[in-house]
């Protein structure tokens, strides 16, 4: 499948960004694999949904971003979805180690977890006490390691993310400064960079992704939002203190699909046969099969998808390095028996996922448009 862009450790990945910033700061125990300029303090600004190809297609709407020095693209990892990518960024590990392996995936109680809400899919019961994020993702985060090395660690994100599952799994150890609007994002990042002690800041902006889902990436609302993000970046770069670095990156790109063009699992009995539970999202699905049914399910799905996608066994996907160079034993049970990735369509669920199925913009798969994300750097 020549359209599949698998994660590649040799070319840099999203989970390398924060360790590289700390390496550029000279922090003990971190390596600057991305070649970030030497600095005293650093901020990673993550723009949700700003894929590398989308940025270059719409560079005229973002001249300040386009003028920054490129240290990418890097690969987001698999699947290319927000909960996975933010945990990769914050933990410094790919999904096979940190264990947040999709938009939804199997949890120890036998159901599906939605990590963005840390709740069980279906009844929406919170799993924060039953399966604490610190147990699901036990590796020390980059922020915990940075703090132990004497670096001030700051997270600048919407106040609603305080104490959520993804924050606890991937960003714990960083002091969260809750934001309400874009001015808070800029002020919070600059405040961290002006700390007298070495500081690492992670700042998050999520509205571009929201408009991409709703209207499609590259739509007029999406472009107008990109222009606002460009102004945010201008405000940051114009006020960077001497010795500080700003690195702008993203968690994934996005592709546009007509909702009517997708395959609706809820209306396709042949796709349902032998499938016990369906996780993931429209562009990347975990198939948890009935005992002994995996070969027949794989054959049926591949016949139905044709050139529009492919279905691999989990062992094959793991051998291909999709989840990183290793998959921890505790993570393996969370991955489907089969993995479906889509090229130019998606597997929707009109009855069980009506909101997601109606979206125009999607991500999760392994196309270059979804996998490649920028790393753009400005130095004070």
Q: Averaged in consecutive runs of 10 residues, what is the pLDDT profile of the chain (380 residues)?
A: 85 95 98 97 98 98 97 96 98 98 98 98 95 98 98 97 97 95 96 96 98 98 98 97 98 97 97 98 98 98 97 97 96 98 98 97 98 97
Looking at the structure, do residues 94 and 239 belong to the same domain, yes or no?
yes
Looking at the structure, do residues 173 and 313 belong to the same domain, yes or no?
no
Residue 34's Cβ-side half-sphere holds a number of Cα atoms within 13 Å equal to 30
Question: How many CB atoms neighbour CB 276 within 10 A?
Answer: 15
Looking at the structure, do residues 94 and 182 belong to the same domain, yes or no?
yes
Q: What is the pLDDT of residue 27?
A: 98
Give a three-class secondary structure readout of the chain.
CCCCCCCCHHHCEHHHHHHHHHHHCCCCCCCCCCCCCCCCEEEEEEECCCCHHHHHHCHHHCHHHHCCEECCCEECCCCCCHHHHHHHHHHCCCHHHHCCCCCCEECCCCCEEECCCCEECCCCCECCCCCCHHHHCCCCCHHHHHHHCCCEEEEEEEHHHCCCHHHHHHCCCCEEEEECCHHHHHHHHHHHHCCCCCEEEEEEECHHHHHHHHHCCCCHHHHHHHHHHHHHHHHHHHCCCCCEEEEEECCCCCEECCHHHCEEHHHCHHHHCCEEEECCECCEEEEEECCCCHHHHHHHHHHHHHHHEEEEEHHHHHHCCCCCCCCCHHHHCCCCCEEEEECCCCEECCCCCHHHHCCCEECCCCCHHHHEECCEEEEC
Task: Look at residues 314, 307, 322 and name the one whose alpha carbon lies nearest to residue 364.
Answer: 322
Looking at the structure, do residues 226 and 334 belong to the same domain, yes or no?
no
Domain residues for the domain of 355 are 259-361
CATH number of 181's domain? 3.40.720.10
Residue 85 counted as domain residue: yes
Whole-angstrom distance, CA of residue 332 vs CA of residue 170: 19
Residue 91 counted as domain residue: yes
Looking at the structure, do residues 51 and 139 belong to the same domain, yes or no?
yes
Task: Look at residues 175, 224, 220, 201 and name the one whose alpha carbon lies nearest to residue 62.
Answer: 224
Q: What is the pLDDT of residue 11?
A: 76
Based on the structure, what is the number of domains in the chain? 2
Looking at the structure, do residues 185 and 48 belong to the same domain, yes or no?
yes
Looking at the structure, do residues 216 and 80 belong to the same domain, yes or no?
yes
Task: Look at residues 99, 77, 85, 136 and name the one whose alpha carbon lies nearest to residue 328.
Answer: 99
Residue 156 counted as domain residue: yes
Whole-angstrom distance, CA of residue 12 vs CA of residue 19: 12
Q: Which residue is it, tokens 């840099």?
A: 12
pTM, 2 dp = 0.97
Looking at the structure, do residues 357 and 308 belong to the same domain, yes or no?
yes
Question: How many CB atoms neighbour CB 230 within 10 A?
Answer: 18
Residue 333 counted as domain residue: yes
Residue 3 counted as domain residue: no
Task: Look at residues 244, 280, 268 and name the one whose alpha carbon lies nearest to residue 83.
Answer: 280
Q: What is the pLDDT of residue 7?
A: 87
Looking at the structure, do residues 32 and 166 belong to the same domain, yes or no?
yes
Q: Which residues are registered as beta bridge partners of 309?
A: 342
Q: What is the pLDDT of residue 72?
A: 84
Looking at the structure, do residues 351 and 263 belong to the same domain, yes or no?
yes
CATH number of 338's domain? 3.30.1360.180
Looking at the structure, do residues 329 and 180 belong to the same domain, yes or no?
no
Q: What is the pLDDT of residue 1?
A: 82
Whether residue 189 contacts residue 201, with contact meaning beta carbons closer than 8 Å, is answered with yes
Indicate the length of the chain as a whole number: 380
Q: What is the pLDDT of residue 192?
A: 96
Q: Phi and psi dihedrals of 356, rounded to 5?
A: -65, -35
Token pair for 105? 């995936």
Looking at the structure, do residues 110 and 159 belong to the same domain, yes or no?
yes
Question: How many CB atoms neighbour CB 26 within 10 A?
Answer: 12
Whole-angstrom distance, CA of residue 128 vs CA of residue 64: 40
Whole-angstrom distance, CA of residue 201 vs CA of residue 151: 10
Q: What is the pLDDT of residue 8?
A: 78
Antiparallel, parallel or unpaired: β 119-120 and 244-249: unpaired
């Amino acid at each position: 499948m020549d359209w599949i862009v698998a994660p590649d450790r040799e070319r840099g990945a999203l989970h390398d960004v924060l360790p590289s910033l700390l390496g550029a700061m000279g922090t003990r125990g971190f390596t600057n694999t991305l070649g970030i300029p030497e600095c005293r303090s650093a901020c990673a600004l993550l723009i949700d949904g700003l894929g590398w190809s989308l940025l270059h297609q719409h560079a005229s709407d973002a001249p300040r971003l386009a003028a920054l020095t490129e240290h990418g693209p890097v690969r987001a990892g698999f699947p290319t979805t927000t909960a996975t990518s933010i945990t990769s960024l914050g933990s410094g590990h790919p999904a096979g180690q940190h264990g947040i392996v999709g938009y939804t995936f199997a949890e120890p109680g036998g159901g599906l977890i939605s990590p963005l809400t840390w709740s069980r899919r279906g009844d929406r019961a919170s799993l924060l006490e039953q399966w604490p994020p610190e147990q699901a993702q036990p590796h020390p985060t980059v922020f915990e390691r940075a703090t132990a090395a004497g670096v001030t660690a700051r997270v600048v994100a919407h106040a609603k993310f305080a104490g959520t599952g993804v924050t606890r799994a991937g960003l714990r150890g960083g002091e969260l400064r809750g934001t309400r609007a874009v001015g808070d994002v800029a002020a919070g990042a600059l405040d961290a960079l002006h700390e007298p002690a070495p500081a690492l800041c992670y700042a998050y902006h999520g509205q571009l992704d929201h408009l991409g889902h709703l209207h499609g990436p590259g739509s007029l609302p999406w472009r107008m939002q990109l222009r606002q993000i460009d102004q945010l970046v201008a405000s940051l770069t114009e006020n960077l203190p001497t010795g500080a670095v700003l690195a702008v990156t993203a968690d994934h790109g996005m592709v546009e699909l007509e909702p009517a063009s997708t395959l609706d699992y809820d209306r396709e009995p042949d796709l349902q046969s032998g499938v016990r539970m369906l996780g993931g999202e429209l562009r990347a699905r975990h198939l948890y099969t009935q005992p002994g049914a995996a070969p027949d399910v794989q054959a049926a799905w591949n016949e139905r998808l044709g050139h529009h996608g492919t279905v691999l066994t989990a062992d094959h996907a793991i051998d291909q390095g999709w989840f990183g160079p290793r998959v921890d034993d505790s993570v393996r049970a969370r991955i489907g028996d089969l993995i479906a990735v889509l090229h130019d369509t998606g597997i929707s669920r009109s009855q069980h996922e009506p909101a997601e199925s109606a979206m125009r913009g999607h991500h999760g798969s392994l196309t270059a448009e979804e996998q490649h994300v920028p790393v753009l750097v400005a130095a004070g």
